[in-house]
Amino acid sequence: MMRLDIVSIFPEYFTPLDVSLIGKARERGTLDVRLHQLRDWTRDVHKTVDDTPYGGGPGMVMKPEVWGEAIDDVIGDGTPRMIVPTPSGRPFTQELAQELAREPWLLFCCGRYEGIDSRVMTEYGSRLRVDEVSIGDYVLAGGEVAVLVMVEAIGRLLPGVLGNACSAVDDSFAPGAMRNLLEGPVYTKPPVWRGHEVPAVLLSGHHGKVARWRRDQALRRTIANRPELAAGLDPATLDKHDRALLGELSFRVGPEDVAN
């Protein structure tokens, strides 16, 4: 059982957590999600959560006192791992999702506006493990959607959450060779749709040829869509067929150039 607390001024953002995989996990008791309205910890009539930034600049900053009261009440004597979504954070990766999926208790603190007064992270950083985390290089209006992304990525890794036990194996245990490669295209019936045929090799029943074809497709797609990932492929993981394909595409792999 994993406990997950989410503090936000928009707890309504999290209704997706009532459905699908995560909803089922909550019903079964694998996940204990607790949503909290930050404004419940304000003390003024206007339920103020933000103020102007010291030093000037655009936008508003979330006040530390209200966050302090909220976090103190939510954690009690406990020590959850605290995650603060922000575009300035460390990248959220599959590796971080796997690490967080092993924690018994996570606390997500969603900032809006220009962010939360930094002293909140300093204060709790001396009591809890605190990570500021970004889900990618673009700017969202607040941390709520980023937390939905993280909770789904973490939740599907929890024991018993995925229907098909193999589904998580593919990406999380990434059987050596397929690591750093994108998945290739997939097909199902019918064999011809609007004149488009399923690649004949997939209907051949020849497992060796299917595996080879899928690897070719994975390599091609990785080079096309994520050249920086492809460039980082370990040459020791490439067989002679892989090297022939990369040669045809004039693509070089190997250690990146060292800066300076």
Using CB under 6 A, list all residues that contact ligand 6GU.
Answer: 85-87, 89, 133-136, 138-140, 142-143, 146
Secondary structure of residue 69 in the 3-state scheme: helix
Catalytic residue list contains 28: no
In angstroms, give the least distance from the CB of 37 to ligand 6GU.
19
Of the pair 4, 219, the CB lying nearest ligand 6GU is at 4
Of the pair 86, 222, the CB lying nearest ligand 6GU is at 86
Other C-beta atoms closer than 10 Å to the C-beta of 169 total 12
Catalytic residue list contains 16: no
Q: Which of 11, 53, 64, 87 is catalytic?
A: 87
In angstroms, give the least distance from the CB of 207 to ligand 6GU.
41
Give the CA dihedral 182, 236, 136, 20, nearest 10 degrees.
40
Q: What share of the chain is helix, strand, coil (3-state, %, to 5)?
A: 45, 20, 40
Of the pair 80, 143, the CB lying nearest ligand 6GU is at 143
Of the pair 64, 87, the CB lying nearest ligand 6GU is at 87
Catalytic residue list contains 58: no
Residues near 145 by beta carbon (within 8 Å), at least 6 away in sequence: 13
Secondary structure of residue 95 in the 3-state scheme: helix
Catalytic residue list contains 87: yes
Q: Kindly state the greatest CA–CA separation across the chain.
A: 71
Q: Which of 69, 152, 171, 216 is catalytic?
A: 171
In angstroms, give the least distance from the CB of 42 to ligand 6GU.
21
Residue 50 CA to residue 61 CA, distance in Å, equals 5
Cite the active site residues: 87, 114, 156, 171
